[in-house]
Structures are given as structure tokens and as C-alpha cells.
A and B are shown apart, each in its own frame.
Chain A
């Protein structure tokens, strides 16, 4: 029986869908397996064991389903498997906190993590800490704290800023979403601004006009132009750098 051509079109679509889905599952689980395999050989810090040649660029990986995925491993901090989850050495997480009272960004890069909470106006804090075994315990000025568990794809925890505690459950993101920072000295004062670009493209940003003080005040940051990474603060042009775990920028 001759198959009608529209049915062939549908079959071709379904086959392509299934193939790409299988490739996605393979690549994601392969990445997890590669990280887990290296973690299992505890303490070794080689990049050779479960990998093929690293990715050509920060976010361009060629489509090759049969080959194991390319994983760039840092020589300084081996990834671990903790509580059944695979813990990546590098990750960017952003998202809104519960109750939508602000947003938080957490960037983990080997042995250092930077986090930023901001509500787009006066409530914000920069935090830093050392990641350990998929857990973060970070501190910032004015008794700001952040504790979280993070794994491949998501992070969950609590951030306390200005005495208010916010619970969050956020996802891993890639450029162009993420965390951005600019530091400039304007007429003797250190102006520090931070922007969180969420997965849906909206941005929240705050700016400290006198960042060197013990309890810096904050205000809404001017909008960050994502194509030039600049923002206009009155007559000053702020140049933002991404704090990006995948490229190591900002660390």
C-alpha cells in the first residue's frame, strides 16, 4: 500500500523529533555521567578521563549525538556527586525569590561563588562564599547571608537581606541571561551596580552610589543595554562585565 506523502511528512517529523529528543537525553545524561565518573575517582584533577576534546567556544557545541559530550573541567576543583545529585563546578543560576519580592543570582566557579540579591531598588546585597559539596554558605555586608543547595540545572535556598528572609528555587541559565556588574569611581566615590537578567529577559538592577561604605544605600540601576553592556547613570556611562561561570568572567 502506497503511503500518502502527507503521512510521510508526519513520519519524518516524528522521527526527527524522537532523534533530537534522544540526543538531548543522551547529552544531558552523558554530561551527568561524565561529571559523576570524574567525581568517583575522588581527588584526581585530570581532564582526560571521561571527556573528548573540549568545546570549541563557550557556548557552541557541534551537534554530534554519538560522541560523548564535551565537558570542560577545571583543574582546580573536581566536581562531586552529593546526595544523589551531580554538582557542577561551574554554574550560573538566576530567578525570582518566592513572593516575587526580588531576584537572586548565584554564580559558582570552582572554589568561589558570587551571589547578588536585588529587588530593583533599595534592597540589595552582594555576597560571596566558598562552595562545598553542593552547598553554599555566603555572607555579605550588613549581615546579609545566603545558604543554598545547588546541582546540575537548579539551586534552592534562602537569602537574608536587611533582616528579611527570602526562599528561592531557581534554574541554571546561560548567556544572555545571568548576572552583570559594573564598578566605577565617580568623583571619588565607588559606584557599584548589579543587574540580574532573568531567563525570560527581564532585568532587575540596583546601584550603590557609595559602595565603599559599611552599609551602602542602594537605588534603582539604570537599564542595562544587553547588546553593548553599558548603562547610562546621568552623565556617566557604566560598563558592565558579566559574572559568568562558564567563561570565568568576573572571577
Chain B
């Protein structure tokens, strides 16, 4: 008995999707490297002046930077928390509709708060290597802004592999915490928590 073969089911043609490609990271990564190198080279070549523009209400430039950096870390913690909720990693908390806005705005505020700090650090102190703490801080500072650039630019492209944003976001956060520990935390522990 001849088997009756049914004609094969028509193949469904899915719309052509470009393969998720980590190669899309190349341009953002190059931009990030450029930022990191620029900061590091400027910090090394420029003669530190010991002073930069002052901000009223604080007892010294060191306290201004320590408090701004601490505020940036607080907003970065909101960033991490909101990203965990967005990815559904927090049990029993469903992502509300405003979580994306919260994530973006806490990130923008944290980033803007770090800008006066890095201007003062680079202009008044420079890229220093006289002890381990300042060397780690100097390198982490360059890497932080480079990685942040990569993260921002990678958000503008579709088709990135799923691990890109969490890895970049985590790296940015880890670098910021490292920066905070080698500066504000150290400052408050040596000079006391003061305005």
C-alpha cells in the first residue's frame, strides 16, 4: 500500500531578523575607549592646579565632591533596583508602568552629579599614581566614563544580544562604587562626615 504523503506543510516564512550581534557594540566600545583615554591623558598631561571652581555652602572642595559622589551612588542604587524590577528579578514585585522612567531619570541625575566631581578631580588633582588608592581611583574614573558612554550608545541600537545592557549597567555601577570607595568613603573616614 503506497503511503500517501501529504504535501509538506507550507513553510512559514518569518520576517527576516538580523542575527543578534555583539558586533554592533564595536562603535560604542570605540567611543567609550576614546572617552576613557581622553580623560586619562588629559589628567596626566595637565598640571594640577590644586584649585578649581568653587561651590558655595561646603567647607572645602573635598566635601563638595564627597557629597556629590555619595548622592550619585544613591541614584545609582535606584538604577540597579529599578533594573532588577524591570527584568522581573524581584519576587512579588511586578514592574509598574513608570519603572522605565524612574530608571532613566535616576541614571541621568546620577551621571550629571558626577560631572562637577570629575571636572574638579581632573583639573585640580589630575591622574595620580602616588599611592594605590589614587591610582585605582584615577583608572576607575576613566573606565567609568568610557563604560557609561558605551552603555548610552548601545541603547540606541536594536539587535544587541540580551546580555549587553545588564553587563554594561552592572559594570558602570561597580565602577561608580569603586570610585566612591576610593574617594568619598576614604574622605569621610579620614576627615569625618562633615559639610
Please indicate whether A and B come from the same complex rather than being unrelated chains: yes
Q: Within 8 Å CB of B151, what residues of A?
A: 6
> For A40, what are the chain B residues with a Cβ–Cβ distance below 8 Å?
none
- CB-CB under 8 A from A56, the residues of chain B are 56
> Is A54 engaged at the interface, CB distance under 8 Å to the other chain?
no
Interface residues on B, range: 35 or more
Give the dominant DSSP class at B's interface. helix
- Residues of A near B9 (CB, < 8 A) are none
Residue B18 CB within 8 A of the other chain: no
In this complex, the member of A5, A25, A62, A200 whose beta carbon has the largest number of chain B beta carbons within 10 angstroms is: A200
Given A6-B156, A201-B186, also A153-B49 (CB < 8 A): yes
Q: Are A7 and B152 in contact (CB under 8 A)?
A: yes
Overall SS of chain A's interface: mixed
Residues of A with C-beta under 8 A to B116: 16, 20
Give the size category of A's interface with B: 35 or more
User: Once the chains are docked, how many angstroms separate the CA of A94 from the CA of B104?
Assistant: 43
* B119 proximal to A (CB < 8 A): yes
Q: What residues on A are CB-neighbors of B107 within 8 Å?
A: 9
Would you call B153 and A20 a contact (CB within 8 A)? no
> If A21-B123, A24-B53 touch, does A176 touch B115 (CB 8 Å cutoff)?
no
8 Å CB interface, B119-156 against A: 119-120, 122-124, 130-131, 133-134, 149, 151-153, 155-156
Binds B, one of A75-83, A106-114, A166-174, A206-214: A166-174
A201–B66 CA distance with the chains assembled, in angstroms: 14
A42 contacts chain B at the CB level, 8 A cutoff: no
A200 touches B53 (CB 8 A): no
A52 interface hit (Cβ, 8 Å): no
Q: Is A10 positioned at the interface, with any CB of B under 8 Å from its CB? A: yes
| Chain A residues, Cβ within 8 Å of B191 | 176, 201, 226-227
**CA separation between A192 and B15, bound complex, in Å?**
84
Q: Does A175 contact B50, Cβ atoms closer than 8 Å?
A: no
Chain A residue numbers with a CB within 8 Å of B57 are: 60
Known: A7-B152, A7-B153, A20-B116. A176 touches B60 (CB 8 A): yes
Q: Are B60 and A23 in contact (CB-based, < 8 A)? A: no
A68 to B188, CA, bound (A): 32
User: B49 touches which one: A5, A10, A28, A175 (CB < 8 A)?
Assistant: A28
Which residues of A are found within 8 Å of B190, using beta-carbon distances?
201, 226
- Closest chain A CB from B5 CB (angstroms): 52
In-complex Cβ contact of B187 among A60, A65, A201 (8 A): A201
CB-based contact A4/B155 at 8 Å: yes
Q: Is the CB of B53 within 8 A of A172?
A: no
| A-B complex: 8 closest residue pairs judged by Cβ atoms | A201-B190, A61-B54, A6-B152, A24-B52, A20-B119, A4-B156, A227-B192, A6-B155
A-B contact pairs, 10 of them (CB 8 A): A16-B116, A17-B115, A20-B115, A24-B53, A24-B120, A59-B60, A153-B51, A171-B48, A173-B50, A176-B62
Listed in ascending order, the chain A residues whose CB lies under 8 Å from chain B are 4-7, 9-10, 12-13, 16-17, 20-21, 23-25, 27-28, 31, 56, 59-63, 65, 153-154, 171-176, 200-201, 226-227
